[in-house]
Structures are given as structure tokens and as C-alpha cells.
């Protein structure tokens, strides 16, 4: 299993801490003939460490390119599809917002949903409300990125920290090139991404749908109508 570079330090530090806890448990219980308890706690500690490792997994996926489609920038579940007014970049213009919630069991790498040029990037310090809270999009710690596609369409997306996720990583640089379905960042331990699309974008997902980053098209923003693409099997979320 390939591991994201964002996890190396946390995996190493957590491994040392868990080993120290195991040694403490071992020396406290070995004299009391509690071997069964030592074994049980040892197994639980190993399972917990492997959970931390799996959180930073970097799955191998087919990279798809389609300039007319917006792909999901993360694994998770669609929790919002609505028309909103954006004041940060679009001066109050109405946009179609799609929000995807990531649980702690999802892959937390974030991928560019479209190709183009990065026109805007800003980091916002803020609160740590639960990610599904309506005000998390404006009040929580977050980053905002806007990519202008080759056809001149601007797509905005936000990484939003949640109650558990308190570390957002972004590799984005203004005027840099964005390549569809390549990594642009990481959110540690559960959160949400908002995508703002043209108001007339054709949505390909609904609230409650599970989506797979780089694989699930969430909207069509240009080109002729085509047959809908099949969404990868639900199991892909766990790979």
C-alpha cells in the first residue's frame, strides 16, 4: 500500500507513542499474571496504528481527462447541491455549489477537479465547526482555489477543516498549472470540500451519492451531451 507523504511524520510519531504505551502496559501487568490482557491490549494498539496508516493511503487510480467534466476532488458523500451567492471571488454572482463530506475512513488526498490555470488562492484561518454545519463554508479554517479552464470557465473549490480535521495542506500556486485528477492537497482526519460551478452546470450527482476522487464526474460544464459515465463501484471508496 502506497502512503501519502503527508502521513510519514504522523505515522512515525504515533508508532513511537504506541510502542511506549505498550511497554508501559507490559511492565505494569507482566508481574500480575495478566498475559491475556497484555495480548488483548497489544492487538488493539496494533489495530489502531494500522488505522492511522490506512488513513494516509494513496490509492492507485486510472487518471481520466475530460475538459467538459468536473470530477470529484475527493472521496466521500455528497451533502449539498444548491445555488449560492459567492462574495469572496465572484462578487455575489450565483453559482451551483456541490459539497462533499469526507469521513475519517475515506482517502483524504484532494485532486484537481478540472485542468487549467490557477487564478486565485487564499488561506483563511477560522473556526473548527463540524464539517456539515451550514456556516462551515464561511466560518471554518479553509483554503479557496479558483482554476480557469482552457475554455475560460472558472471553477472554485474550498478545502474546509472540521471539528476533527485541523490541518489543511495545499500545493497550489497562483498562475501554476492545474492538471485534472492530479493531487493538489490533503486534509487530515475528516472534513469537506465545496465546489462552485457555473449556475447552468449539469449536475451528475445527487445528495447522498458516494463519490470517488478522480473517478466520479460530478458535473458537466461544457460540450455536447453524452451518455452518462458509470460511477465506479462503491468498494472503490475503500481502496
pLDDT at residue 25, rounded to an integer = 85
Residue 230 predicted with pLDDT over 80: no
Residue 238 predicted with pLDDT over 80: no
pLDDT at residue 128, rounded to an integer = 52
* CA distance readout (Å), 98 to 79, 193, 198, 199, 215: 8, 8, 11, 11, 16
pLDDT at residue 39, rounded to an integer = 86
159 phi/psi in degrees, rounded to 5: -90, 125
Q: Which three cell numbers stand for residue 82?
A: 444548491
Q: Which of 85-89, 130-134, 165-169, 225-229 has the highest mean pLDDT?
A: 85-89
* 191 a catalytic residue: yes
Q: How does DSSP classify residue 119?
A: E
Active-site annotation holder among 115, 191, 228, 236: 191
pLDDT at residue 130, rounded to an integer = 54
CA–CA gap between residue 101 and residue 78 (Å, rounded): 6
Q: Which of the residue ranges 52-56, 95-99, 147-151, 234-238 would you say has the lowest mean pLDDT?
A: 234-238
Q: Which three cell numbers stand for residue 56?
A: 494516509
* CA distance readout (Å), 111 to 73, 83, 104, 212, 220: 5, 23, 17, 11, 17
With a CB cutoff of 8 Å and minimum separation 6, the contacts of 40 are none
pLDDT at residue 9, rounded to an integer = 83
pLDDT at residue 27, rounded to an integer = 82
Q: Which tens digits make up the pLDDT trace of 99-138?
A: 999 888 888 899 999 999 999 999 988 665 555 555 555 5
Residue 44 predicted with pLDDT over 70: yes
Q: Which of 12-26, 33-47, 129-143, 220-234 has the highest mean pLDDT?
A: 12-26
pLDDT, average across residues 168-190 = 89
Q: Which of 135-149, 153-167, 206-220 has the highest mean pLDDT?
A: 206-220
pTM: 0.78
Q: What angle do the packed helices 8-29 and 35-55 form, to 10 degrees?
A: 170
Amino acid at each position: 500500500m502506497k502512503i501519502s507523504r503527508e502521513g510519514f511524520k504522523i505515522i512515525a510519531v504515533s508508532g513511537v507513542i504506541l510502542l511506549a504505551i505498550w511497554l508501559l502496559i507490559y511492565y505494569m501487568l507482566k508481574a500480575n499474571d495478566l498475559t491475556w490482557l497484555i495480548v488483548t491490549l497489544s492487538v488493539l494498539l496494533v489495530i489502531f496504528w494500522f488505522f492511522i496508516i490506512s488513513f494516509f493511503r494513496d490509492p492507485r487510480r486510472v487518471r481520466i481527462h475530460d475538459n467538459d467534466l468536473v470530477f470529484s476532488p475527493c472521496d466521500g458523500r455528497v451533502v449539498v447541491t444548491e445555488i449560492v451567492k459567492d462574495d469572496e471571488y465572484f462578487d455575489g454572482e450565483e453559482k451551483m455549489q456541490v459539497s462533499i463530506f469526507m469521513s475519517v475512513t475515506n482517502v483524504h488526498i484532494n485532486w484537481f477537479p478540472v485542468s487549467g490555470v490557477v487564478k486565485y488562492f487564499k488561506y483563511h484561518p477560522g473556526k473548527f465547526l463540524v464539517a456539515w454545519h451550514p456556516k462551515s463554508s464561511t466560518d471554518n479554517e479553509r483554503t479557496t482555489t479558483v482554476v480557469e479552464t482552457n475554455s475560460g470557465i472558472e471553477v472554485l473549490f474550498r478545502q474546509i477543516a472540521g471539528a476533527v480535521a485541523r490541518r489543511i495542506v495545499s500545493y497550489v500556486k497562483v498562475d501554476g498549472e492545474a492538471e485534472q485528477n492530479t493531487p493538489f492537497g490533503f486534509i487530515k482526519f475528516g472534513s469537506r470540500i465545496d465546489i462552485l460551478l457555473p449556475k447552468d452546470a449539469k449536475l451528475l450527482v445527487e445528495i447522498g451519492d458516494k463519490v470517488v476522487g478522480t473517478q466520479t464526474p460530478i458535473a458537466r460544464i461544457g460540450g455536447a451531451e453524452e451518455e452518462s459515465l458509470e460511477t465506479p463501484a462503491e468498494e472503490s471508496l475503500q481502496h
